[in-house]
Structure 1
Amino acid sequence: MWKWLVDTLRANPEIAVFLCLSIGAYIGKLSFKGVGLGAVTGTLLTALVVGQLGITVSNDVRAIFFLLFLFAIGYGVGPQFVQGIAKNGLPQALFSILICALCLGTAWVAGRIAGYDIGSTAGLFAGASTISSALALSVDAIEQLGLAAGETTRLVNAVPTAFAMTYIFGTIGATMIICVVGPKLLGIDLVAACRAYERKMGGHGQSGDGLRAWHLHIVRAYRIGDGSDWIGKSASEIEAGHGLAQLFIERIRRDTQIVDATAEMTLRVGDVVAVAGNRAVLMQLAGPGLVEVEDAELLNVPVEGTEMLITNRKVNGQTLAELAKLPVTRGIFLRRIRRGATGIDIPVLPATTLHRGDVVTVVGRPQDISRVLAAFGRADRATEETDIALVAAAIVIGAILGSIVLRMGSVPVTLSSSGGVLLAGIALGWLRSVHPTFGRVPPAANWLMNALGLNMFIAVVGLSSGPSFVAGVQELGFSLFLWGMVVTSVPLILALYIGRYVFRFDDAILLGCVAGARASTASLGMLTARAKSQTPALGFTVSCAVSNTLLTIGGILIVLLAR
């Protein structure tokens, strides 16, 4: 039975690849206190074990899925990468660039001191920085060095070995340093810092999901009495008097007629008005001049919710408080803001800025929704269709341009096809956020290309490297694990102090910036849980988009530095 299984896997390597993906995904789900290995590491470990059977997989399979993965990662980070570099979030982008340089430099120095070869140094960088995409680019870069076939194979096989030995602490250690050690080193009370930041940003200083009270709304009916100070005022004047409390007069019953309220409509004694707004604010309205009444017909206000993609450059960079003053936003309630490739939830605070590419959930009357859509962007309608033609064209164009070799004296300089595809993905992702009429890749499709592309690549690399893995571990030993701890810890600890004392980030977003600069999504999840707030995410999105790109490119640079 065992011999038959081994022979089958050798004769049909595609079965072995999917076997590694399946088992690796289950291993990746195992976690301790919310921290797990992830599917990539699980797949790699499984492939290294299965690879002991001597299974050969064509490198063409690896190359195809690798390009698919690079496009997906570029497409996902494109809007925030360009946003951070160009204007908004520039300090966070510069911070990420510096931390990426520290990660790269620390790995290079460690490799030189320890005497590691190119492959082991590249794997040390990728594993300790927990950037799986860098592993892929390092393998590609080593194959482009023009070395002898045997030497190339040896160095390529060393990359996943070093990666596997350093990735575990890279994941767990980074999360612990950012979420547990960091606040203690800097003396940060994360919950208090987030509440203070929310108050400073115009919120209510509530923790966790308490901010829901700011944008959960109800509709109530009030009859205007003789003593009301609403008499003789327009609807817009009354609404403006409540500022950020977001109160809107939706409909009016005058005599026996019900009409939709306009901003200019003046209120009279005896009018019954349907008022939408914050629950706590509406409960305080009732009094001698305003008597709450039950009017089912008046309160039957048609309401719809829509996800809106922000595309208007005039909206870009404006705060919610500034946008709330615009006539076009009258009657609109904002429930949610999602930003970046992974849809990070951004806290809804008056001083929160909107970026092009953000997806916001708005609620209001159909006519109000239509008005704000025309001014801010377009509805982000759910669809399963991917613009395959443009995705494939972008990969082709990026790969061809990246393959061009320029010479600076005798030194060849090239992006490589993989680097070109990554940049093509960034370009198309950004263009899609600005002109959302073409190039659509639904989030689920982008996730599949990202996850499947990378894990297929890792599975092939692991199967090919399996026979040399045991020998590599015996040669490098426990010292590689210790060097991985150094390469993980040093840049992160320095990042904490650089973020506070050089860039002077607020304590509430500092740790989010550090997590983003290391592209550590697991750290962000633990941070928001410990902070009982989504506020740390304000420091994560831009820094993560920039670092995800730069650390990936670092897979090429570390090979060039270690030559």
Structure 2
Amino acid sequence: MSWLASTLKAYPEIAIFLALCIGYWVGGKSFKGFSLGAVTATLLVSIAIGTLGVTISPNVKAVFFLMFLFAVGYSVGPQFVRGIARDGVPQVIFAAVSCLLSLAAVTGAAVMAHYSLGSAAGLFAGSQTISASMGLATDAINRLGLPPDETRELLESMPIAYAVTYIFGTVGSALILAQLGPKLLGIDLVAACKDYERELGAGEAAEAGTEWHDFEIRAYRVGADSPFIGRTVADLEAHTPEGHRAFIERIRRDGGIIEPAMDTKLAPGDIVAIGGKRDQLIERMGPMSLEVEDAELLDVQTEGVDIYVTNKAVDGRTLRELARWPGARGVFLKHIKRGPTETGIPLLPKTKLYRGDVITVVGRTQDINAAARQLGYIDRPTKVTDVASMSLAILIGALVGAAVLRLGSIPLTISTAGGTLIAGLLFGWIRAIRPTFGQIPEPTIWFMSSVGLNVFIAVVGISAGPGFIAGLQKLGISLLLWGIFATTVPLLVSMFLAKYVFRFHPAILLGACAGARATTAALGMICEVAQSQVPGLGYTVCYAVGNTLLTISGMVIIMILS
């Protein structure tokens, strides 16, 4: 141990990787569905390492925290801007009110318990499960101009309070929303989700191609007495039975293969390659057509790709409406992902698409290309990051945040961290409407957000290590109880506001509460209880706004209490 301690003191960079290694490994383990998570595990490990007396430059955490904040803003930018600008306004207001409730609960708890600024910030971060707020709180404490010893004491108390309150903040939030919430509000969540699905068109004709499970292409011979003879491709495709979608992809005629136009008419003896869902093809074609094996005719290049929705004309339209667009021909929708958490959206005729959504479609390459031209662009996997644009955005945001305006003797600033977060929001929104700008692959975003935050947390924990045990002994069980209070009360009040004031549909109400508190774990449990993905419809806008405001609140709570 003495050799390890001396080595880590001499090479403190090793200590960071040691904390990340153990933190991610322990955080990835689960017991009966419960996991500490990488952030909490990394914090606890780094605190233990910090007791060895390792010292790390604060510049390290500053760099990685700016990376993290930019990634957060970049991820939620499209949903944040859309939520403010469109029909998500009630959800935006609700998320803001929920944030104020959280801020009020933690502030009240800190005042009544006579906690220091650092403990109050840690209580807020842990009870509201918003680790990122500690970064802005750290920046705000450093700007108070306190003596170095007092500043260090405040900063060391922050991770202690966070570590003690985070576990209930995560588990308690999920249990309150998913298990207690429906009982308190008198909601049958399963029935409510089914009702909402019916409102979105579940059980109606799936004109929008809203379900894709087994798309394939089969070949059928047109008999001499077939009712299809003389009818055009456009006519046949337009008059498929209600709830069916099928497309004539190729035709073998007189020994050759032709690519049909919409006005091509079928003739006796044609062998037609038809694409669609297997069960629908069997139901429609089986009784009246002879299926044949024609390997050459069926050799059609198909693929499944992600399309990033950017077209303003698509924004807010239902899948049923979009199914009638020419670009929808031959394309089958597999699923929709929305927001930074890639929330799955129900695939129903009245489900709406928004700019920033990522949809997965399958079909012929030429049909997918045609659909992409109307919807946005094909989001093919890439390893290249536009580092120049990304760095420029962080630079501008940090410079704006570094500016200080004085209102009399009071300095006003959003800090470099706040400026970087806002830059990420704007950058992500611009990216949603101009996808050729500022490309950052998903793995890079994950690295910046996950590793960036955990390096920051590791440095915070290592720095706080020496005072952790003493601080825990001083605050102890009372801190845990105040954490339970600060987690529970805002959630309970938010649920009743969502039902009786904002009047959200019961199916999305709890998802909106989870989003406003930025707790993805709770959303997963809510969807499991609901046996549906519908609660995710209330999550995305609230998450984008709540995650942003809760992060900024780390700075606000220091301003209030100081």
> What's the TM-score, normalizing by structure 1?
0.93
Contact 2:50 2:464 in 1 (8 A): yes
What is the alpha-carbon distance in structure 2 between the residues aligned to residue 446 and residue 513 of structure 1? 24
Q: Mapping of 1:24-63 within 5 angstroms?
A: 24-63=23-62
- 1:161 offset after TM fit, Å? 1.2
SS at match of 1:357: coil
State the match for 1:457 in structure 2: 456
Structure 1 CA distance for aligned equivalents of residues 238 and 494 of structure 2: 43
After superposition, give the CA deviation of every residue in 1:297-351 in whole Å (9 maximum; x if it has no partner): 4333332222221121111221111110111211111112222223222222222
For residues 459 and 406 of structure 1, the distance between their equivalents in structure 2, rounded to whole angstroms, comes to 32
Q: Which whole-Å deviations, capped at 9, do the CAs of 1:340-395 have from their partners, x for residues lacking one?
A: 22322222222222222222222222221221222222121211111111222111
Judging changes above 3 Å, is the alpha-carbon distance between structure 1 residues 500 and 264 closer, same or farther for their aligned structure 2 residues?
farther
Contact 2:222 2:271 in 1 (8 A): yes
Match of 2:89 in 1: 90
Within 2, Cα distance between the matches of 1:187 and 1:168? 28
SS for the counterpart of 2:545 is helix
The corresponding residue for 1:440 is 439
1:63-83 Cα shifts (integer Å, max 9, x gaps): 111111111111111121112
Taking the aligned partners of 2:492 and 2:219, their CA distance within structure 1 comes to 56
Residues 290 and 94 of structure 1: CA distance in aligned 2, closer, same or farther (over 3 Å):
farther
1:217 to 215, 218, 225: 215
Verify: 1:245 aligned to 2:244, yes or no: yes
Alpha-carbon contact 1:386-1:441 (below 8 Å) kept = yes
What residue number does 2:232 align with?
A: 234
CA contact (8 A) 2:217 2:276 kept: yes
Report deviation, 1:289.
4.4
- Find the aligned partners of 1:551 and 1:521 in 2 and give their Cα distance: 14
Deviates further, 401-410 or 247-256: 247-256
Tell me which residue corresponds to 1:317.
Answer: 316
The equivalences for 1:502-541 within 5 A come to 502-541=501-540
Name 2:13's counterpart in structure 1.
Answer: 14
Distance 1:287 1:202 in 2: 28
The separation in 2 between residues aligned to 1:195 and 1:266, in whole angstroms, is: 43
Paired residue for 1:476?
475
- For residue 326 of structure 2, what is the amino acid of its counterpart? P
2:80 is matched with 81
**Per the alignment, do residues 237 and 487 of structure 1 end up closer, same or farther by CA in structure 2, a change over 3 Å counting?**
farther
Q: Which moved more, 1:221-230 or 1:388-397?
A: 221-230
1:233 Cα shift? Answer: 4.1
- The alpha carbon displacement at 1:524 in A equals 2.1
Contact 1:224–1:271 (Cα < 8 Å) also in 2: yes
Give the match for residue 425 of structure 1.
424
Q: CA deviation at 1:91?
A: 2.7
Task: Tell me the TM-score normalised to structure 2 length.
Answer: 0.93
Look up the match of 2:378: 379
Whether the 8 Å CA contact 1:517–1:547 is kept in 2: the answer is: yes
Q: 8 Å contact 1:88–1:317 — kept in the other structure?
A: no
SS at match of 2:354: coil
* Residue pair 2:20, 2:455 contacting (<8 A) in 1 also: yes
Query: Does the 8 Å contact 2:122/2:158 carry over to 1?
Result: yes
Aligned AA (1:379): I
- Cα deviation digits, residues 74-129 of structure 1 (max 9, x gap): 11111211121122533322221221111111111111222222211111111100
Measured after TM superposition, the shift of residue 522 of structure 1 is: 1.4
Partner of 2:123 in structure 1? 124
Code of the residue aligned with 1:135 in structure 2: it is M
User: For the aligned residues, what is the CA RMSD?
Assistant: 2.2
Measured against aligned partners, the alpha-carbon deviations of 1:410-469 in whole angstroms (never above 9, x if no partner) come to 322111111001111111111112112221111111111111111111111111111221
Does the residue aligned with 1:221 lie in a helix, a strand or coil? strand
> Deviation at 1:230?
4.2
For 2:510 and 2:455, the matched residues in 1 are separated by: 33
Quick check: 1:183 aligned with 2:182?
yes
Letter in 1 for 2:232: S
The answer (yes or no) to whether the contact 1:203–1:350 under 8 Å persists in 2 is yes
1:482 shift after superposition = 0.6
- 1:208 is matched with which residue? none
Is the CA contact 2:211–2:347 (under 8 Å) kept in the aligned structure 1? no
| Alignment correspondent of 2:272 | 273
The 3 A distance-change label for structure 1 pair 247 and 495 is: farther
**Which residue of 2 is the match for residue 164 of structure 1?**
163
Q: Which residue of 2 aligns with 1:351?
A: 350
Task: Please give the alpha-carbon distance, in whole angstroms, between the structure 2 residues aligned to 1:530 and 1:542.
Answer: 21
CA apart distance, 1:288: 5.8
Q: AA paired with 1:219?
A: I
Q: 1:215 to 1:244 in 2, by over 3 A?
A: farther
1:337 matched residue in structure 2: 336
Indicate the residue corresponding to 1:196 in structure 2: 195
Q: Check whether the contact 1:227–1:288 (CA below 8 A) recurs between aligned residues.
A: no
CA contact (8 A) 1:229 1:289 kept: no
> Residue 69 of structure 2 contacts residue 417 of structure 2 at CA under 8 Å; is this kept in 1?
yes
Q: 1:33 to 1:240 in 2, by over 3 A?
A: farther
Q: 1:294 to 1:70 in 2, by over 3 A?
A: same
Are the aligned partners of 1:69 and 1:450 in contact in 2 as well (CA < 8 Å)? yes
- Does the Cα contact within 8 Å between 1:215 and 1:333 map onto a contact in 2? no
C-alpha contact 1:244 1:350 (8 A) present in aligned 2: no
1:198 alignment partner AA: E
Change (3 A) 1:212 1:372: closer
- Cα 1:25–1:266 change in 2 (3 A) is same
Decide whether the 8 Å contact of 1:244 with 1:321 is kept in 2. no
Asked if structure 2 preserves the Cα contact closer than 8 Å seen for 1:313 and 1:356, the reply is yes
Contact 2:68 2:452 in 1 (8 A): yes
**Aligned pairs, number:** 557
Task: Give the residue type in structure 2 aligned to 1:216.
Answer: D
1:213 Cα deviation after fit: 5.2
Query: Secondary structure in 2 aligned to 1:412?
Result: strand
Residues 224 and 500 (structure 1), Cα distance of their counterparts in 2 relative to 1, 3 Å cut: farther
**CA–CA separation in structure 1 for the residues paired with 2:144 and 2:242:** 63
CA distance in 2, matches of 1:244, 1:147: 69
Q: Per-residue displacement from partner, 1:244-274 (whole Å, max 9, x unpaired)?
A: 5322222234454432233333445554432
Deviation at 1:231, TM superposition (A): 4.9
Residue 536 of structure 1 deviates from its aligned partner by 2.2
Q: CA distance change for structure 1 residues 350 and 140 in 2, over 3 Å: closer, same or farther?
A: same
Task: Give 3-state SS (helix, strand or coil) of 1:298's partner.
Answer: coil
CA contact (8 A) 1:74 1:426 kept: yes
SS at 1:313's partner residue? coil
Flag the 1:326–1:407 CA change in 2: closer, same or farther, 3 A: same
How is 1:296-307 mapped onto 2 (pairs within 5 angstroms)? 296-307=295-306
Letter matched to residue 217 of structure 1? F
